[in-house]
Chains A and B, each alone.
Chain A
Amino acid sequence: MLAEKYITAISTISSNAVSKNEAKVFENPNAGLPEFLLSVYQHFQLNYPKFYKMDNLSKLGWLASEVLLQDSFAGDSYQSEEVGVVLANANSSLDNDLKYFDTIKDVPSPSVFVYTLPNIVIGEISIRNKFKGEHAFFIQDTFDADFIEKQVSYLLDKNILQACICGWVDVLEQDYKAVLFLVEKNKKELSILFSAENMDKIFKDN
């Protein structure tokens, strides 16, 4: 029999606002993206100096993961290898690729080049939380909740993972959106069933 799976936390960052479990927890209406991301970092008092060297995609995904896990995730109840991350977006790392390409004309920057891969954001989330399990980054025209649901379900049903962060993290210049779901096997107070329909609805509401 397949294990029941629940969305035990949700975080979204879009349109200059941050939500946790579908309630707005922070907004900073008129800021451009870099200023906005910095204000999120400061508001939640995250104290993680590595944040400053990240590109916008990693900052966005990492911030969304911090909001997602804060007060919602008992990391101690899992082994490192039991937690994974499955993400998707449309623009890969193009936002940072453009910035790296600008440095080529002068002196190519290794510290910018390293962020020219979309899965680096998974690396950043994994380093912060010591997640050593399965992960994957998919490129999709638009968020394919059905596909993501099947990927994550396979990992949880086969006990390859016991918990998984999944969702969408996309940035291109001033356009951005992050929607992350924490999926676990134990039902919690506010949890909803892990399904493509539920993910799709929350994605479209934000």
Chain B
Amino acid sequence: MKEPDVFVVADNVLSPLGKTTAENFSQLKQNISGVRLQNSDISFDDFYASLFDENETFIKDGDNLYTKFEQLLIASIGDALQDSGIDTKDKKTVLIISSTKGNISLLETEQYAPDLQKRIALSTSAQLVAEYLGFTNPPIVISNACVSGVLGIITGMRLLRTGQYEIAIVAGAEVISEFVLSGFQSFQALSPQVCKPFDKSRDGLNLGEGAGTIILSTQKKYAQNIKVLGGAISNDANHISGPSRTGEELAFAIKSSLNDAALQPEDIGFISAHGTATVYNDEMEANAIALSGLQNAPLNSLKGYYGHTLGAAGLIESVISLQSLREELLIPTLGFKDNGVTARVNVCSELLPIRAKNFIKTASGFGGCNAAVVFGK
């Protein structure tokens, strides 16, 4: 039996640049970045990152009951659901949450005790968010490093294909606290300026906060919408904190996702790359893109606007790319000037009118994970 098509119903990006997809896209078109020099309690040294204002609240009621991480999820999912007519209580509706560190910042503000262990658990947050929004099915939680967001979309697509559910709401969020920031500092992975993906002088990443949501459905009433066409995951089996030397494994995920989508490389109109602006990630990723026959497709990395939002990145960057497909306008790679990767890839450096039918979103992360997902009209 042929699997049903999976359509995109609605989406949201909640970031320091705006509270809706439209607000975010409008800022990006004006080349406005959320990354700026931060002077914050979470670090002795100033650092570049895209962070929310310290006292910003995200939901109107009960903001004392929910952590910032949970509020971001509630607000992002809530906006995507607005006017969608979707019944979260329906047994055919499922919620998928992606994050790497969730509520870990509670370690910094609370005394550690068995109660706190439960409060930090990602399942607790997912349950609270699900209850707030009225879901009856238990939520699914994914924590798979920086591919969590893309893996969430792929998991949702597959659950819908099997017919187990008709609606999947996939959301990811990340909060930057001392825990995460100090870790990336200890790795010497942070750039002392706004990051420069794929550039010759790139020198590390910026971190970012935010949330993103994509609502997927197999229902025929959405048949005119953009589809999730395919996706795949792979592992480098090489190193837990450094990417593959060759990019072959990410290339395998890209090729598998194209296969799943029944598309050829030339069908891909643009690439939303991971592009963290670390020396090794971008080099590996460019290799993988070339190995997949996608070196001519215009490519962007949004890390110069959002920083690396970790488990939310796959969602935020997919949503912006969906908007690019709708508005026929590719957002440039802020910070990119001169090609600094060996493989010749086509990095987009200014706002580019495009007539694309499909795009691919890639991601890679610690643990050697790689992911790719294909969307199309």
Contact = CB atoms under 8 A, between A and B. Distances in A.
Interface of A: 80-81, 84-85, 90-92, 94, 97-98, 100-101, 104, 107-110, 113-114, 116-120, 122-124, 126-127, 129-141, 147, 150-151, 154, 160, 172
Contacts of B239: 127
B121 interface: yes
Contacts of A127: 237-240, 368
Contacts of B122: 92, 139
Contacts of A90: 121, 123
Contacts of A123: 235, 240, 366-369
Contact of B144 (A100, A110, A137, A160): A137
B138 to A, nearest CB: 8
Contact of B369 (A92, A104, A108, A119): A119
Contacts of B127: 141
B141 A132 contact: no
B186 A113 contact: yes
Given A113-B187, A117-B367, A154-B158, A137 B236 contact: no
A174 to B, nearest CB: 13
A91 B155 CA distance: 21
Contacts of A140: 123, 141
Contacts of B235: 84-85, 122-123, 126, 131-133, 135
Given A91-B117, A117-B367, A123-B235, A137 B187 contact: no
Given A110-B186, A126-B237, A135-B369, 6 more contacts: A81-B234, A90-B121, A92-B102, A94-B121, A120-B367, A137-B142
Interface string B356-377: 0000000001111100000000
Interface stretch (B177-185, B265-273, B298-306): B177-185
B141 A119 contact: no
Interface in B151-202: 151, 155, 158-159, 162, 164, 178-179, 182-183, 185-187
Nearest to A120: B367
B283 interface: no
Contacts of B252: 81, 132
Contact of A80 (B162, B237, B241): B237
B101 interface: yes
A81 B144 CA distance: 18
B73 to A, nearest CB: 14
Interface string B131-151: 000000000111111000001
B327 to A, nearest CB: 33
Contact of B141 (A84, A117, A130, A139): A139
Contacts of A124: 240
A90 B118 CA distance: 9
Contact of B233 (A104, A113, A136, A138): A136
Contact of A120 (B155, B179, B366): B366
Contacts of A131: 235, 237
- Chain B interface, >50% SS class: mixed
9 contacts: A101-B179, A108-B185, A118-B143, A123-B235, A126-B235, A132-B249, A135-B235, A139-B126, A139-B143
B186 A138 contact: no
Contacts of B183: 100, 108, 110, 113, 116
B39 to A, nearest CB: 19
Contacts of B234: 81, 132-134
B104 interface: yes
A134 B107 contact: no
A150 B162 contact: yes
Interface in B209-237: 232-237
Nearest to B104: A97
B100 interface: yes
B329 interface: no
A132 B121 CA distance: 29
B290 interface: no
A146 to B, nearest CB: 10
A141 B249 contact: no
A80 B122 CA distance: 31
Contacts of B123: 90, 139-141
A11 to B, nearest CB: 20
Contacts of B144: 118-119, 135-137
A22 to B, nearest CB: 28
A6 B369 CA distance: 26
A103 B24 CA distance: 37
A107 B104 CA distance: 19
Given A123-B367, A135-B235, A98 B143 contact: no
